[in-house]
């Protein structure tokens, strides 16, 4: 890909979906970008909210060269300056970020919670219903429960491609609300879900039955 772009209409739809999912953690919005936009959905999430004054970084489990390419493309499309993870307001992670990177992301303080970072993580699949094709497929999903503001009682998410450890560390990072980080999960099908820093996240250790 030589360039990325996000149309105004798609940007508005993406922005709405991000606000909706953040206000109701654990719900899922499905996004389909038009032909006028040239970027993956997870990149569209970032482009819809950054500008020339927003520091961002790109991390992933792929090569450093790919990280640099995506950083260049996103900067060209938005004008936003790149920075290290520890100095960024937004971090885009292609796949699960390693624990060192996750723990380096700014959380803000109880007096300056707005300094906390926003994190976008791409995953294989995120769903609210446990309909797996096989027991082996089920093992590839991490099941989490979400409680807190915007949730009536409890929301359950099943996430493929993100480990249990990620959510355990996120739980600890957000244990001093209002400090913490907001997280959006985006899968390969354009499904988006969010976990607010005010949300209590717990990994469900009991086995989810196959429907």
> What pLDDT digit, counting tens, does each position of 23-34 carry?
999 999 999 999
Cα gap 124→196, rounded to integer Å: 21
What is the structure's pLDDT at 208? 42
Any idea of the CA torsion for 146, 172, 100, 81, to the nearest 10 degrees? 70
Segment 135-162 mean pLDDT? 88
**For residue 137, what are its two tokens?**
């497929």
For residue 148, the number of C-alpha atoms closer than 13 Å in the C-beta half-sphere is 22
**For residue 129, what are its two tokens?**
């219903």
Please, which residues have CB within 8 angstroms of residue 200's CB and are 6 or more apart in sequence? 146, 147, 148, 171
Q: How confident is the model at residue 205 (pLDDT cuts 50, 70, 90)?
A: confident
Helix (H, G, I), strand (E, B), or coil: what is residue 72?
Answer: helix
pLDDT at 186 over 50: yes
What is the structure's pLDDT at 135? 54
What is the structure's pLDDT at 66? 82
Q: How confident is the model at residue 129 (pLDDT cuts 50, 70, 90)?
A: confident
The verdict on domain 8-203 having CATH code 3.20.20.120 is no
**pTM for this predicted structure:** 0.92
What is the structure's pLDDT at 140? 82
- How far CA 35 is from CA of 8, 9, 10, 17, in Å, comes to 12, 11, 10, 19
The fraction of the chain above a pLDDT of 70, given in percent, is 90
**For residue 38, what are its two tokens?**
């040239």
C-alpha angle 127/132/134, rounded to 5°?
155
Higher pLDDT, 137 or 47: 47
Segment 129-156 mean pLDDT? 81
């Amino acid at each position: 890909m030589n360039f990325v772009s996000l149309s105004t209409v798609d940007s508005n739809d993406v922005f709405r979906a991000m606000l909706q999912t953040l206000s109701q953690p654990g719900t899922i919005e499905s996004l389909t970008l038009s032909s006028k936009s040239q970027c993956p959905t997870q990149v569209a999430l970032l482009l819809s909210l950054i500008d020339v004054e927003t520091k961002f970084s790109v991390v992933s489990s792929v090569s450093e060269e790919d990280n640099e390419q995506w950083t260049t493309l996103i900067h060209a499309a938005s004008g936003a300056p790149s920075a290290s993870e520890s100095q960024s307001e937004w971090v885009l992670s292609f796949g699960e970020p390693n624990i060192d990177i996750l723990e380096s992301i700014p959380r803000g303080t109880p007096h300056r919670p707005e300094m906390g970072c926003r994190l976008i993580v791409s995953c294989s699949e995120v769903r609210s219903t446990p309909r797996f094709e096989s027991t082996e497929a089920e093992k590839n999903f991490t099941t989490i429960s979400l409680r807190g503001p915007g949730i009536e009682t409890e929301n359950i998410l099943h996430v493929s491609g993100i480990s249990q450890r990620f959510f355990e560390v996120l739980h600890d990072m957000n244990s001093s609300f209002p400090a913490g980080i907001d997280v959006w999960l985006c899968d390969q099908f354009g499904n988006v879900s969010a976990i607010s820093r005010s949300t209590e996240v717990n990994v469900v250790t009991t086995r989810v039955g196959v429907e």
